[in-house]
Amino acid sequence: MPDATRFEPLQWSDMAIMAPELVLGAWFVLLVVLDLLLPGRLRRSSWIGGLTLVGLAGAGALVLLRLLVMNNGGEPALVISLLGDSYRIDDFGSLLKLLILAGTGLVVLLGLGSADGDGAITDKGEYFYLLLPAALGAMMMASSGNLITLYVGLELLAITSYVLVGLRRRSVLSAEAAFKYVVTGGIASAFILFGMSYLYGVTGSVELGAIREALPGAAASYEAFLYVGFGCMLGGIAIKIAAAPFHAWSLDVYQGAPSPVAAFLAVVSKGAALAMALRILFSTALFAGSGSDTGAELGSDLFFAVLLIAALSMLFGTLAALRQSNVKRLLALSGVANAGYLLVPIGVGVTMTHSNNVTELLFYLVAYLLMTLGAFAVLTVVSRAVGHDELKGFAGMYYRAPWTAAAMTIFVLSLAGLPVSAGFFGKLFILLGAANGKHYGIVAVMVLSSVISYYFYFGLIRQMFMRSSDGLLSEREARLREGDEEASAPAAAVIRVPVPIGIVIWTCAILTFALGVYPQPVVAAIDFLFSIMTDLLPGR
């Protein structure tokens, strides 16, 4: 077994390297104090939301500056290791951090356009500044080279997410969603921690590099314990990313949470958990067979399990969505299917003919961020106009808001994976990578699930372009006569798009279309920056 885990103290010179994380933490404390001091008559959503954006932009600028400085020599940069390799500043982590901060920034803009109109949210300030520690936890997960720091980041993200889901305190659905999320999230965290304890027990270390070195010997003596450890961690991570068959919680949580928070869970939380899975598996099990046949069998079984979860997610997500009429729940099931697509590059592993898994994962994660946040933004303005989240609320949308309907069409085409969209190239790259790795079964499942998904994705387009909105207003009047308070929304004939939400919609729509026409710059940048030998193999 390796020597005891080394924890080296953080030096003052390291503070500049961890500046993005420190800025987010300090900015969060500042906003908490400011929220307490602001007079009650001020609009907290505007002040606190705007300052939250400033903090996210500052952290993003620091991450980008570090990325440029590390790659200034024209070659991929070496890793900066802190705290005894517990925290790693590498290009993979920096790219994930930029995605996390960009996604959180778009979520804040969604909140700026919708928080004031949601009377169920009583604490407008918390609605925004709690996103900062959540983003900080996700950033820690992207850069951790140690099981303990990975778990700390996971819990920081999870605990703040529980609070965010339950912020609509006057809504019964939100309270139910928060309770279910706390229970399932706690179970997932317990499974992950239990699995980590087994890995530590048989390898003697929590550092990913030391675990990789000890894994061949441990596989020969403690094979069953390794299967239990990795299996528990995979199960917990599958719950976190809402992968089938551990996805049932996501439908109720997405429906009960505020739309911006649901978008945050769908994009940022999922991306951070996927980064965690990639770091653990690629840093340890990917090369488990280098020292023993038992280790090779262990690695093969683990990556097969990931592909099995991916296949179940794609099939369960698309089949369950066929009869779904609530758009929030539909997007939750779409997230289940997309969790399967995002797991494929991890499950395929690295072979002689296929080694750009991370490029495929990151590109599709960018596409998924854009099309999902854009779809949630459109849903936010439509649900405010009609007073509910049902699919029929999109009826005749082309005649009420033609430009918004056009943007939603771009998002739907991208989610379906059709040409001239970022989702098309994202799925194509993953499919070709799986084919190069000779995983033809998962290729067939990807094609089948994509074809099935056309039915419910095009159901949205059918509602927008081929249905009349004449019945919506009379339906709302009937609900008002029955005493339904939620029906007191603006008239269905008009869809008003607040400026912050409009920025989100059109930023996502333009970038989704641009990546569908010309994806090469993003792919080339990821290929240049990322190196599996330096970024995902700690200790080398």
Number of helical H runs and strand E runs in the chain = 23, 2
Query: Do 100 and 268 meet the contact criterion of CB atoms below 8 Å apart?
Result: yes
Q: Is 360 in contact with 345 (CB distance < 8 Å)?
A: yes
The number of domains in the chain is: 1
261 has pLDDT over 80: yes
Residue 467: inside a domain, yes or no? yes
Q: For position 9, what pLDDT does the model report?
A: 63
Predicted pLDDT of residue 2: 46
Residue 440: CB atoms within 10 Å: 10
Distance, CA of 65 to CA of 140 (rounded, Å): 18
Q: Which residue has the tokens 């520690």?
A: 133
Q: What distance in Å separates the CA atoms of residue 462 and residue 395, rounded to the nearest whole number?
A: 8
The pLDDT assigned to 487 comes to 45
For residue 7, being part of any structural domain is answered with no
Give the 3-state secondary structure of residue 115: coil
In a domain, 2, yes or no: no
Structure confidence by residue, pLDDT tens digits, 336-375: 999 999 999 999 887 766 677 889 999 999 999 999 999 9
pLDDT one-digit tens code per residue, 206-256: 888 888 888 888 888 888 899 999 999 999 999 999 998 999 899 999 999
Alpha carbon 93 to chain centroid distance?
14
In a domain, residue 299? The reply is: yes
Residue 322's CB is within 10 A of a number of other CB atoms, namely 13
The dihedral region occupied by 531, where left means phi > 0, alpha psi between -120 and 50, and beta the remainder, is beta
Please name the amino acid found at residue 511.
L
**Cα–Cα distance for residue pair 508/462, rounded to 1 Å:** 22
DSSP secondary structure letters along 297-318 = HHHHHHHHHHHHHHHHHHHHHH
**Residues of the domain holding 392:** 13-535
Residue 275 in any domain: the answer is yes
- The answer to whether the CB of 326 falls within 8 A of the CB of 259 is no
- Residue 40's nearest CA partner among 109, 125, 97, 111 is 125
User: Is 3 domain-assigned?
Assistant: no
219/380 Cα distance (integer angstroms): 50
Secondary structure of 120-167 in HEC code, one letter for each residue = CECCHHHHHHCHHHHHHHHHHHHHECEHHHHHHHHHHHHHHHHHHHCC
User: Tens of pLDDT along 139-176?
Assistant: 999 998 899 999 999 999 999 999 999 888 888 888 89
| Residue 6 belongs to some domain of the structure | no
Tell me if residue 207 falls in helix, strand or coil: strand
For residue 408, tell me if it sits in a domain.
yes
Coil/strand/helix, residue 85: coil
Coil/strand/helix, residue 26: helix
pLDDT at 485: 44
